[in-house]
Amino acid sequence: MRLFPPIIDNEKCPLTINNTLLQSCYLRYTEWACGVAIYTGNETKSGMSRGTAEPKLTAADSMIDKLTVAIFIFQIAVVLLLGLAGNIWKDSHGCKLWYLMYPAERPWYDFLVIPLRFELLCSIMIPISIKVTLDLAKGVYAKFIDCDDQMFDPETNTPAHSANTAISEDLGQVEYILSDKTGTLTENRMIFRRCYISGVLYGDKTGDALKDARLLNAVSSKDPDVVKFLMVMALCNTVVPIKSNDGTISYKAQSQDEEALVNAASNLNMLLTSKDSSGIAEICFNGSKFYYEVLDVLEFTSDRKRMSIVVKEVKSGKFLLLTKGADEAIFPRSCPGEQTKTYLEAVEMYSHLGLRTLCLGCRDLEEDEYKEWSKKFQDASCSLDNREHKIAEVCNSLEQGIHILGITAIEDRLQDGVPETIKLLRKAGINVWMLTGDKQTTAIQIGLLCNLITPESKGQLLSINGKTEDDILQSLERALTIMKTALERKDLAFVLDGWALEIILKRSLESFTKLAMMSRTAICCRMTPLQKAQLVGILKSSGSLTLAIGDGGNDVRMIQEANVGVGISGREGLQAARAADYSIGKFKFLRRLILVHGRYSYNRTAFISQYSFYKSLLICFIQILFSFSSGLSGTSIFNSISLMAYNVFYTSLPVMTIIFDKDISEATVLRYPQILLYSQAGRLLNRSTFAEWFGRSLYHAFVVFLITINAYADEKSDMEELSMVALSGCIWLQAFVVTLDTNSFTCPQITLIWGNFVAFYMINLILSAVPTLQMHTVMWHLCNQPSYWITMALIVAAGMGPVLALRYLRNVYRPSAIDVLQQIEQTDGHAQAPGNLESSTGTYLDYLLTDLRRNKSSIHQPLLSDSASSR
């Protein structure tokens, strides 16, 4: 091999610093800095956090940023090292070569010339095109979600929708799902089932109080306790009755509970017929009409957990306070001497049945008492300072001495597919938490029904509660101790309420965080919207990647706080869906959103990002290797047209074929959800996988350069031919690299890979026909030489042979779970393997899938923590 001396060519190798060189360096660095800033900033509208001005950064984006910084440091080191070596060679050898015409006296900045040349050569190490490529790919991922017919809900005519196109790969790395209950896990179709009035349980035998003969007889006989109970059901709400042209009455309600109670009252002859603008409500009971003037509404809040209204009976002028709410909000405010024990027993019984309970009560008011209170209420409502707190205090002062009328029990059934979906997600290694405002007993029953928690025979539910703050902290430490010692033997979960959480966040946040990171399941009841968001924040702050899903306005805070927000277009409106990154019609569609779309998106992003670095490093390493054959002068082996077209035309389209790639079928993914742990742990995009791509680019650069130099470095070849042969070798290798890493071939993929390959030759044949270009006739001359095609064959054989051999050996002797599943699919064509293969691979596959979970230690190592990048 002979050395190529430095070439005096202002285009390829300027020997003196001039304005063009400085401007070129400046533009190159500006382009790099802007590209990195744009990529890191994730500035597109789709990438912005919901409700904030801060951009969202996915786990994959974070890893790519770290790799970019590492490559930049490597680039600076290479530039400095080669620049120093180039100056040494110039002083020791170059100045003695007469044909280089170095001046005797050189300017003081002459030592910067060679390092700046190498900076220009190495500036392509960081691929600016990665931003555009990934944004385009992520846009396609979002369209796949929007167009998924299997995520279309025909009942509500609701398709899946992706409002954020920047975080699809995060779906494949979710570690915690925090879900609302009502309307998310359940249908949010409230049905009045049972009630307890004056010591009588109605509906306990038939399962439907509306068909209980005892209750119907009590209504017919106008039992005063039953009548007053039904009157509160019909009046204590914000429901608006709507009368149609045919005389039928329907109800418009913000709360499904209120609609269920009003409908139940109307079925029991207590019919709310109208509410006019003056506040007069008309009630018809057994043919008689009664009129009430609604004076004030004490609205429900998550802190008060009750709502009340003050009404005046028009006929008698009597003032009444009507109240309904949670038992813990009503019973402490009952009148002295009220026997609440039987009511508490009824509440517990209904809660064990998974029913939602409300306590109804009333109180007679004196006119003077009301007028005095009304003035305070108006003053509080008009206050500009701490208005909500003042209103709550005034309301609380009136809601005292309440006479308990009874308990209502409302059924809210689970959505179809919820138990199966939760079971699948937990099998995939995702921790599922339920955050609800319901009573603890009700939440536990729903948790059992939907496979969220395991029955006592196989699991244990740790309760964090107490009468005092110290009791709560002791139960927390006890739960943490049990979790550490018994986690491997039992499926453990913990349950706590809003009050306990408030104490814990103030006094023992660190212990609770440890417990949260160890627990795969939790039930958090009586939660306010703020507390839901706080729980999400705790998990995020520990480095875990969270997904929050809900359907109502009270879930918006939680959805916006999570890494990924999913809203259900439910019966409570579109607030959650509009605030979320993704919206779906039913909870069961979450399995496809995460296991199918999330996993595929992560796999594709991992390949696209690392391949983008690979192709840039490949061309850069060839430039560096050529510098050793040209006196370390910083001469470029490629002309400016080839370098420009390399990223724009020659290599941009083949990588986009990966957006259609599926390593295993959707059916296989859903049958073996444990495979999600590969993407969840970041095993396809980390420092180790990038090191493999880095090594591959370096090896391929050696192959292309050495074969090209030995085949064409003689007196009959010029620089343009040498450049085109090396560039052709890169294009051939990259076509085979993309083909080798593609798992499923479709017509668009084949067209993009090999159509782009053909386009490379067509473009260069056209450019070779232009007389004014330096590469005139070069490609025509090469294509007519058998040696050129032999050289390409040698490059492909030497470059891809070892890669294929290593992959074959790995698949035979150390196959991964994905490799085994691919073998099953190739043998049978489906996720279900034939008997002979199942017997030979089934045990090993089970071992691999089990090993995935075992390697995910019980003391969970978060994905987004500093240590996660090493995985």
Which residue among 391, 414, 437 closes a domain? 414
Most confident of 10-19, 138-147, 184-193: 138-147
pLDDT, residue 871, reads 37
* 842 pLDDT more than 60: no
Whether 216 shows a pLDDT value over 90: the answer reads: yes
Q: Are residues 268 and 346 in the same domain?
A: yes
For residues 393, 396, 398 and 400, what is the CA-based torsion angle, rounded to 10 degrees? -150
Give the CATH number for residue 428. 3.40.50.1000
Please provide the size of the chain in residues.
Answer: 871
The token pair that represents 748 in the structure block: 């668009």
Q: Give the pLDDT confidence score for residue 643 in this predicted structure.
A: 84
Q: Taking the CB of residue 345, how many other CB atoms lie within 10 A of it?
A: 13
Kindly indicate the confidence band of residue 853, based on its pLDDT and cuts at 50, 70 and 90: low
Share of the chain above pLDDT 90, in %: 43
Nearest to 449 by CA among 409, 411, 490, 498: 411
Place of tokens 């744009």: 38
Which domain CATH number covers 311? 3.40.1110.10
- Both 393 and 420 in one domain: the answer is no
CA 506 – CA 738 distance, rounded (Å): 54
Instruction: Give pLDDT, residue 5.
Output: 43
CA atoms within 13 A on the CB side of 51: 15
Whether residue 671 lies inside any domain: the answer is no
Calculate the average pLDDT of the chain: 83
pLDDT at 44 over 60: no
pLDDT value, residue 466:
87
CA proximity to 322, closest of 278, 270, 251:
270
CA–CA dist 557, 533 (Å, integer): 6
Tens of pLDDT, residues 244-284: 888 788 888 888 889 999 999 999 999 999 988 888 999 99
Q: Record the tokens describing residue 468, joined without a space.
A: 């005092």
For residue 100, being part of any structural domain is answered with: no
* Angle at which helices 19-41 and 113-122 cross, to 10°: 40
pLDDT confidence of residue 25? 41
Per-residue pLDDT, averaged over 543-565, amounts to: 92
- Cα(400)–Cα(321) distance, integer angstroms: 10
Mean pLDDT computed over 689-695: 93
Q: What is the pLDDT at residue 851? A: 59
> pLDDT tens, 654-682?
888 888 889 889 999 999 898 898 888 88
What is the structure's pLDDT at 230? 95
For 347, list phi and psi in degrees, rounded to 5: -60, -45
Binding positions for Mg(2+): 180, 182, 551, 555
Are both 219 and 315 inside the same structural domain?
Answer: yes
Of residues 189 and 633, the one with the higher pLDDT is 189
Number of domains in the chain: 3
Q: Evaluate whether residue 461 is within a structural domain.
A: yes
| pTM score | 0.82
pLDDT in tens, 301-325: 878 889 999 999 998 999 999 999 9
Say if 637 falls within a structural domain: no
Q: Taking residues 616-629, what's their average pLDDT?
A: 89
Going by the DSSP 8-state scheme, the letter that residue 44 receives in this structure is S
Distance CA 333, CA 345 (A): 18
Question: Do 479 and 502 share a domain, yes or no?
Answer: yes
Q: Are residues 223 and 319 in the same domain?
A: yes
> Are 86 and 114 within 8 A, CB to CB?
yes
pLDDT digits over 417-449, tens only? 999 999 999 989 899 999 998 888 888 989 988
Indicate whether 494 and 508 sit together in one domain: yes
Q: Are residues 435 and 538 in the same domain?
A: yes
Of 61, 148, 170, 180, the active-site residue reads: 180
Q: What pLDDT is recorded for position 518?
A: 87
| Residue 360 pLDDT greater than 90, yes or no | yes
My answer on whether 349 and 489 are in the same domain is no
Dump pLDDT digits (tens) for 73-108: 999 998 888 888 877 766 666 555 555 556 666 665
The residues pairing with 525 across neighbouring beta strands, listed in sequence order, are 497
More confident residue, 604 or 718: 604
> Above 80 in pLDDT, residue 845?
no
* Known binding residues: 180-182, 258, 300, 324, 356, 436-438, 526, 532, 551, 554-555
Q: Does 151 share its domain with 210?
A: no
Neighbours of 376 (CB within 10 A): 16
User: pLDDT tens digits, residue range 17-33?
Assistant: 343 333 344 334 333 43
Range of the domain at 313: 188-414
Q: Is 96 helix (H, G, I), strand (E, B) or coil?
A: helix
Q: Which of 29-43, 641-655, 676-690 has the highest mean pLDDT?
A: 676-690
The verdict on residue 124 lying in a domain is no
Which of 393, 414, 435 corresponds to the end of one domain? Answer: 414
Residue 755 has pLDDT above 90, yes or no: no
pLDDT band per the 50, 70, 90 thresholds, residue 862: very low
Residues 281 and 382 in one domain: yes
Whether 125 is covered by a domain: the verdict is: no
Long-range contacts of 845-849 (CB under 8 A, 24+ apart): 845/672, 845/817, 845/820, 845/821, 848/816, 848/817, 848/820, 849/672, 849/674, 849/675, 849/817
The reported pLDDT for the residue numbered 161 is: 93
Q: How far is CA 673 from the centre of its chain?
A: 17
Q: Are residues 159 and 227 in the same domain?
A: no
Q: What is the pLDDT of residue 149?
A: 93
Q: What does DSSP say about strands 356-365 and 403-411: parallel, antiparallel, or unpaired?
A: antiparallel
Q: Is residue 81 part of a domain?
A: no
Q: What is the pLDDT of residue 24?
A: 41
Neighbours of 19 (CB within 10 A): 7
Answer yes or no: is pLDDT of 15 > 50: no
Could you say which of 542, 565, 594 is where a domain stops?
A: 594
* Whether residues 362 and 296 fall in one domain: yes
What 3-state DSSP class applies to 319? strand
Is residue 98, in this structure, part of any structural domain at all?
A: no
- Identify whether 718 is a catalytic site residue: no
376-428 residue pLDDT tens: 999 999 988 888 889 999 999 999 999 999 999 999 888 999 999 999 999 89
Most trustworthy range by pLDDT among 528-537, 734-743, 750-759: 528-537
- Judged against a pLDDT cut of 60, whether residue 802 lies above it is answered with yes
Q: What is the pLDDT of residue 832?
A: 42
Residues placed in the known binding site for ATP? 180-182, 258, 300, 324, 356, 436-438, 526, 532, 554-555
**In this structure, are residues 684 and 601 in contact, taking their beta carbons and an 8 Å threshold?**
no
